[in-house]
Amino acid sequence: MNTLPAEISLADALRDARARLERAGVPGADVDAELLAGHVLELGRGEVQAAAIRGAGLDTVQRSRFDALVDQRATRVPLQHLTGRAPFRHLELRVGPGVFVPRPETEMVAQLAIDALRAAASPEPIAVDLGTGSGAIALALATEVPHAQVHAAENDVEAFLWAKENFAAVGAPNARVAFVDLAAAFGELDGTVSVLVSNPPYVPDDAIPRDPEVRLFDPPAALYGGPDGLDVVRVLSSVGRRLLHPGGVLVLEHGEWQGADIRALLTADGWRAAATHRDLTLRDRATTALRP
């Protein structure tokens, strides 16, 4: 562990932390250093920057906590596991070991589902999020489309516990989460759902992610989707035809190389108007389709 003086200025502590994280290959080392300091000091990132400019310092206890967190981050423990929080759209979700950390690119997947849900003709449209993980997409839908009813399903015990915690914390009265096999989920809703959305495991089994935060800490069940990465997508195609009403919208997140294969798969299954959408980095990120 790197040893700092008993008393240190916040600016010096941030400078040291940034250097340590950069040596460890952590991307965005300056951002992570400021966010970890904010976690210790219970300040936002902007407040940390302002405090450093004012010449604020860390006391012995704060210094020790900050130093320990930076050491853990340098081993590539995800930042969100250290802070226990992950931002997603307007939400702040509780996350940690056993659940997939929601990514910024998934926010546009949620937006596609939100747009489709808002466009639904029903005064109280129904949305389903299969494989909800932390509950990120489902809770975004429930809070941003309050006249909708949102049902989320998770089939992994650890992830389900995180989802339950987030659903309780957000307290959206129009959302519920269930522990259930995805293929059999919500039979009582068959033919009534306007939007089905999912961020399924889609990494091919032999395509090991490069980032240690993903490879070592995200649950394998949330990453790997069979030899071509599409095993769960095939299940979702079948479940979607059961749950959605005619004209209902399917929204699937996937890897940037999988759009053509997923469009072909859905078209062969009878879906209409399959289309792939890019995220803000111009990478193919999601495919939508309409139930005939």
Pairing of strands 85-88, 91-94: antiparallel
Task: Please state, in angstroms and as integers, the Cα–Cα distance from residue 55 to each residue in 15, 81, 284, following that order.
Answer: 13, 29, 45
Which whole number is the average pLDDT over 225-248?
97
The pLDDT tens digits for 147-189 are 999 999 999 999 999 999 999 999 999 999 999 999 999 999 9
The pLDDT of residue 4 is: 47
Give me the percent of the chain exceeding a pLDDT of 90.
90
CATH class assigned to 8-75: mainly alpha
The pLDDT of residue 1 is: 44
Architecture in CATH of 88-290: 3-Layer(aba) Sandwich (3.40)
pTM: 0.91
Per-domain residue ranges of the chain? 8-75, 88-290
The pLDDT tens digits for 100-132 are 999 999 999 999 999 999 999 999 999 999 999
> How far is the C-alpha of 149 from the C-alpha of 198, rounded, in Å?
16
> How far is the C-alpha of 268 from the C-alpha of 142, rounded, in Å?
32
